[in-house]
Amino acid sequence: MKNQSQKSPVKFIIAGVIVLATVAWLALSASGDSKQYYVTIGELQQLGNRAYTRHLRVAGNVQPGSINHVGTNATFTLVEQGKLLRVNYQGAEPPPDSFKDDAQALAIGTYGRDGVFHATQLQAKCASKYAPAAKPSAAPTGNVAKLNN
């Protein structure tokens, strides 16, 4: 007569394999949607058809005078090493306060066949805010009295 407290280890092994396989499948299928590739404007323009199927992050400086801001949306041009990229931002939030001419910006979204980058997220920092402080002059100009004697 078999003791009921002894169960076949095969059942536990099969159940464990099923659980592990399910977790692995969920992890792999979810990771494909959240991948973002960081590319420069030059690399984006060289990707060809692959550029249209990927979620991308592109950085550059905002070209002065190119910002057209309406509500939470904005269109502007990014510049990086002489290459230009037109960006259409349509996000749930308005562009950050630091989003201005010559600011460094990071656009997150997809590249359209129309040649425009369609961003759903936008990050910016003002270049002048992070620039090193100007050095003070070494010595004041004018007459300086000698204290010898």
What is the domain count for the chain?
1
User: Is 134 a domain residue?
Assistant: no
Question: Is the pTM above the cut of 0.75?
Answer: no
Residue type, 84: L
Q: Which tokens in the block code for residue 4?
A: 């009921």
User: Is 112 a domain residue?
Assistant: yes
Beta bridge partners of 110: 118
Write out the chain's pLDDT in tens, 149 residues: 455 555 678 888 998 899 988 888 877 766 555 566 788 888 888 888 888 888 899 999 999 999 998 888 999 999 998 899 999 999 888 888 888 898 899 999 999 999 999 999 998 876 554 455 555 555 445 444 444 44
Q: How many helices (H) and strands (E) does the chain have?
A: 2, 7
User: Is 76 a domain residue?
Assistant: yes
93 is in which domain, residue-wise? Answer: 35-129
User: Is 142 a domain residue?
Assistant: no
Could you give the maximum distance between any two Cα atoms of the chain, in Å? 116
Q: What DSSP element (H or E) covers 23?
A: helix 9-34
CATH number of the domain that residue 48 is part of? 2.40.50.140
User: Is 10 a domain residue?
Assistant: no
Q: Which residue has the tokens 């990707």?
A: 47
Distance, in Å, from the CA atom of 74 to the CA atom of 109, rounded to the nearest integer, reads 14
User: Is 68 a domain residue?
Assistant: yes
Q: Which tokens in the block code for residue 45?
A: 């323009």
User: Is 73 a domain residue?
Assistant: yes
